[in-house]
Structure 1
Amino acid sequence: MFFKKKKTDSLNSLNQGNIEKRKLIPAHTDGFIQEMKRLLHNSADLNVKDRPNGVTLIFLDSIIDNKMLHQDILARLQHGESSPDEILKKITVSKVAKYFYIEDAVEMMLKGAVLIHSSGHPCIVSASIGTQENRSLTRPENESQVLGPQIAFNESMATNISLIRRFLTNPNLCNESYSLGKQTNSGVSLLYMKGIADEEMVDRLRERIKNIKVDSILDSSTLVQFIEDNSFAIFPQLLMTERPDRACAWLLNGKMIVLVDGSVQVIGCPQTFIEFFQSMEDESVRWQIATFLRLLRIFSMIVSIFFTAIYVAALTFHYEIIPQTLLIPLGESRSKVPFPPIIEALLLEGMIELLREAGARLPTKVGQTMGIVGGIVVGTAAVDAGFTSNILIIIIAVSALASFTTPNYMMGNVIRVLRFPLILLAGFWGFYGLMIGFCFLLIHLIRLSSLGTPFLAPFYPPRFADWRDSIIRLPIQFTNIRPIQTRPLNRLKYRFNKSKKKE
């Protein structure tokens, strides 16, 4: 008890010391101006304006709206009393507050506020008139689809939240604001539906955000790596989207979303492995078409990961599984190749990845030309020179095409990387190596979790009620139950009435 009390006393003294370290705003205007110049290192865009009635305005002219400065502030401070309380009554800007500490004044000015100081008063009035430099709303680039809303998030958090509120005009939509990054003070918002989202899960995500102590958070993709369960796993455990309709669908299913100011991607959590292969367009088409597309994506993932490795294992150890009618053309195709199958496959896979990366980094038109022409020219030259066989060119091309069917960019990158260790295992141990690799991936996926929930749900642990909207999608009357994975407080979405007009 003695040590516990001593520790508590030391923490209280430390907190008291931090409070005492905070400097009060000087009552004299000259002292306040000198202190602000010192803290901002005499920044070139620091502007000071004196008014006739003893009021001084200090602001950074590079991040404020000059029109609002003249119309809403300067025009209203021409005459009359200059006390802070009177200034608060005169200014009509929406975000106006009074502060007594110099640290709060600096923080507000860096966020686009004008500081109004009255001589003889140890406080300032802050009026937020920061500029809102946003690009216009555009179509989604990475999640494009034919049906559904054709609008995407942009870099402004205020705009993104307004898009979500446009879809969800519900008072139960909760918005919690945080500031992360010692150097950047980036704005972060946590959104969830009160009465649907599980409070324990919301608390878990809230604590993870609060416990992040870093210098900077510049994008959602950086924040994801801090709040996911296992940062060493190759598989992403949280999804990001640029579509407001998909973010709203997550909220209505009992999930939470996280927005970062300056990022076009919104984080949704928790997520499951199968959701990385679902598209928002699946909800807009007939259930038979949606089921076919989801099965096609799963099949394409398996082909992309294992097709080349199976070729290497069959040619290295297991000739007996190759049909006899295929052995002769296969032997003729490989007769001029001087490398074993594993070296041949790794060289060609590496060449495909080089072409793909070069096409992604070049300008759009040049990149498309580079990918098409480079693939044709290099592939044809490699076959003519005897570095590879025609059949392997076809297999590599099919695997590359199959990897593009994954709707999520992060999961597509994982599929690209997994091919290489499986090719090595197949080249050294054949199908036994492939089974070792497959079992390792399966165990790894079983051990993963997303915000404390199983990553392989609803298949492990088996939750048959959620299978109706997983790999397959049943008709809409059977998808009126929210998934168990998010532990929603209200599982029923709607009641489907089979009312038909009687003639």
Structure 2
Amino acid sequence: MTTNMISESVSETREKLWDHMRNPRMVFRTLSCGTNSLLLAYLPYLVDTVILQQVLLPYFERLPDEKIDPDTILGNVPVAHVTKTMDYRQVSDHLVRGWIYLQIEGMACGLLLYVARIPSRSLGEAQVETQIFGPQVSFTEDLETNLGVLQGYLSTDLLTNVTITIGKRSRTNVEVCYMEELAAPENVQTVIQRLRDLDIDGVIDSGKLVQLIDDNTFSIFPQLILTERPDHVSEALLEGKVAVFVEGSPFAIVGPSSFVDFFKSNEDLYIRWQMASFIRLLRFSALFVSLFFTATYVAALTFHYEMIPSALLVSLVKSRSKVPFPPLFEALLLEMIIEFLREAGARLPFKVGQTIGIVGGIVIGQAAVAAGFTSNILIMIVALSALASFTFPSYMMSTAVRILRFPIIVLAGIWGGFGIMLGASFLLIHILRQSSLGRPFFLPFFPFRLQDIKNSLIRFPFYSLGKRPAMTRSPDDTRVPDEARKKRPVQ
């Protein structure tokens, strides 16, 4: 412990900091201010050199000639954040975050001055969770900017932050945000405890962190929501949920989250409740289309010809007359081609990716039919299944559904309709067993909560949503008081 204590000698401090940092870009400056000898240590690519040259250095030059102590500078230095330290480890941790270390010769302590200029992009529109109505701004990689944007949406002192440093080598700052009177203490403590229990080299992005703190690592379904939208996080906090921000990541983690939450979009709150209800029902219908449409085709052609109407059966026979492969292989081939095109479009530059997705799909589809590899009807079915998966607001849930489509198709090709029911039953049982921060994942259907049904598959008018979700177990579960609902205008 004593080896990390700051020495009174400036030259010894310089050597110790060099041993701790080992950074060739480290800058050490010695200033003579009367009888005082000052040491400045900083990383030039992390500090704001304008503030250093035009504010701090002139201030140090105006220091009195007589002997001074750090407390004199502590109360007068023109910097917003100043902290006193006596530990080399604390100094090195702050230097890599854009702080300047100041020490006076003969003093066994120093000052840390915050003058950081961390490179980051400015606020822009959301790229992943796009929407027509509502706020268009998204988070950035700068943690302070994200917290400022969130505070702009929730201008209240109830918004509470807890800072945790994760990673033995990355030393990444993580902020846990919640509303003091709305979030259940057990939810907050669960998140904080899971973060503090992590023993890992480093965490670079929230996408990695969410896999380390969720309830079931082996489940394909995401149990915590990743979002880049400040309005989404704000609404979640008002429901009593907890949000986690990772330094360097533009995505926030929100929990606890139910299975239904992954099919909700914040845009549902900005349009009429009838429109929002229709769109939500459309998304849940798309879930079944994406999972079972292609599998139903394979099962019908392999085992259940009698279920197909005779008029349609004639078209199917003509369409597949030149196809040499069984329906199972044909369906898997087309599904793989669709996934190839989707992944290629996502990894290529934006304009090139769009062209590859459209032209590649048309050319490959027409060539496959002409060569007799597949039928026109299956191309339409696979295209509809792929299109349905794009309706989900959550990219993680959309990817999970895309992957699950393959084993269900295989089950349909092996056992027909029985295989589809077997796969659906397994998925349902698996979802019922999941949890999010210890809360049931399939709320409000299991356990059944009638009040929360009003904002699940459909969205009732706002005055009908008087209670917060049961999943959050908020200490204050009243969102709209009964008096306010009684006073609402009625035509």
* TM-score, structure 1 normalization: 0.94
Structure 1 position 43 matched with structure 2 position 29: no
**Which residue of structure 1 aligns with residue 427 of structure 2?**
441
Instruction: Give 3-state SS (helix, strand or coil) of 2:40's partner.
Output: strand
Equivalence for 1:7: none
User: 1:410-421 alignment to 2 at 5 Å?
Assistant: 410-421=396-407
Contact in 2 for aligned 1:97/1:125 (Cα 8 Å): yes
What is the Cα deviation at residue 252 of structure 1?
Answer: 0.5
Shift of 1:501: 7.8
**CA distance in structure 2 between the aligned counterparts of 1:499 and 1:211, rounded to whole angstroms:** 49
1:70 and 2:53 correspond: yes
Match of 2:42 among 41, 59, 66: 59
2:416 counterpart SS class: helix
Query: CA offsets per residue over residues 431-484 of structure 1, 9 Å max, x none?
Result: 111111111100000000000000000001111111011001111210121011
Cα deviation 1:261-293 (Å, max 9, x = unaligned): 111111100000011111111111111111100
Question: Structure 1 residue 339: deviation in Å?
Answer: 0.5
Give the residue type in structure 2 aligned to 1:63. Answer: L
Q: Distance in 1 between matches of 2:341 and 2:297?
A: 22
Matches within 5 A, 1:10-29: 19-20=1-2, 22-29=3-10
Contact 1:256/1:269 (8 A) holds in 2: yes
- Match of residue 11 from structure 1: none
Which of 151, 154, 179 is equivalent to 1:168? 154
Q: 1:280 aligns with which of 244, 263, 266?
A: 266
Task: Give identity over the alignment, percent.
Answer: 44
Worse-superposed segment, 116-125 or 369-378 = 116-125
Structure 1: which 5+ residue stretches go unaligned?
1-18
Cα distance, 1:56–1:502 mapped onto 2, change above 3 Å: closer
Q: CA deviation at 1:42?
A: 5.0
Residue 412 of structure 1 aligns to a residue in which SS? helix
Partner of 1:307: 293
Structure 2: gaps (5+ residues): none
- Letter aligned with residue 385 of structure 2: S
Q: How far has the Cα of 1:332 moved from its partner?
A: 1.0
Matched residue count: 484
Structure 1 Cα separation of the partners of residues 286 and 347 of structure 2:
25
The answer to whether the 8 A contact 2:98-2:118 is kept is no
1:331 match: 317
What pairs with 1:69-218 in structure 2 (closer than 5 Å)? 69-78=52-61, 79-80=63-64, 81-218=67-204
Query: Counterpart of 2:417?
Result: 431
| 8 Å CA contact 1:76, 1:90 repeated in 2 | no
Is the contact made by 2:225 and 2:255 (CA closer than 8 Å) also made in structure 1? yes
Partner Cα distance (1:147, 1:219) in 2: 28
Cα deviation for residue 143 of structure 1 reads 1.3
Matched, 1:494 2:470: no
Q: CA shift at 1:72, angstroms?
A: 3.1
2:433 aligned with 1:452, yes or no?
Answer: no
Q: Cα–Cα, structure 1 residues 441 and 33, in superposed 2: closer, same or farther, change >3 Å?
A: same
Which residues in structure 2 correspond to 1:332-411 (within 5 Å)? 332-411=318-397
Letter in 2 for 1:46: V
The AA in structure 2 aligned to 1:23 is N
Encode CA deviations 1:401-421: one digit per residue, 9 max, x unaligned.
111111110011011101110
Give the Å deviation of 1:497: 3.8
SS at match of 1:58: strand
Instruction: Indicate conservation of the 8 Å contact 2:30/2:37, yes or no.
Output: no
The 10-residue stretch of structure 1 (493-502 or 132-141) with the greater mean CA deviation from structure 2: 493-502
The separation in 2 between residues aligned to 1:115 and 1:484, in whole angstroms, is: 49
Instruction: State the one-letter code of the partner of 2:304.
Output: H
Distance 1:221 1:27 in 2: 44
Give the counterpart letter for 1:70 in structure 2.
Q
SS at match of 1:54: strand
C-alpha displacement of 1:139: 1.1
Q: Once the two structures are superposed, what CA deviation does each residue of 1:312-370 show, in whole Å capped at 9, x if it has no partner?
A: 11111111111111111111111111110100001110011001101111111111010
